[in-house]
Amino acid sequence: MRRYTLSRNPMHALSLKLCSSAPNPKMPVKTVKVSIKGRVQGVFYRKWTAENAQELGLKGWVRNRRDGSVEALFSGEPSSVEEMEKRCRRGPPASMVTGLNVSPVDEDPGDGFQLKPTV
């Protein structure tokens, strides 16, 4: 992120000065594991989830489970994770979500967002 400050310069009324600022390493991060039940397999739920998570800048993964549910891990800025939870309650157009369970976790989300194989 770039930060600018205004300074007085005898040659100009105002000048814009670029201030170096490193990313804030203490930015809060929220990580949750989500289990989604209902008609969520065979309706592109995983692909839809990955696209939405990437749009929100989240890290993590999504996978189908043999019991017919979808499981996902989302990690990122708390407001983005909460928005993703809301989106998962609706799902893609062909889905019908009947249950959503969200649990906070300390799991490493990895880099980017991945589609994982069924477990």
What is the per-residue pLDDT for 29? 96
> Is 64 designated active site?
yes
Strands (E), the chain: 3-9, 12-19, 30-39, 59-64, 70-76, 96-104, 113-115
Domain limits, the chain: 30-115
What is the per-residue pLDDT for 24? 54
What's the distance, CA 105 to chain centroid? 14
pTM of the model: 0.78
Residue with tokens 């893609």: 92
Return d(Cα 84, Cα 56) in angstroms, integer: 8
Q: Which of 64, 65, 87, 90 is the catalytic position?
A: 64
What is the per-residue pLDDT for 9? 45
Question: What is the residue-level pLDDT of the chain in tens, covering all 119 positions?
Answer: 434 344 444 444 433 343 333 345 677 999 999 999 999 999 999 999 999 999 999 999 999 999 999 999 999 999 999 999 999 999 999 999 999 999 999 999 999 999 999 99
What is the per-residue pLDDT for 20? 37
What is the per-residue pLDDT for 26? 73
What is the per-residue pLDDT for 14? 39
> Is 65 designated active site?
no
The architecture that CATH gives domain 30-115 is: 2-Layer Sandwich (3.30)
Give which of 35, 117, 33 is closest to 69, Cα–Cα. 35
Q: Which of 8, 24, 46, 65 is the catalytic position?
A: 46
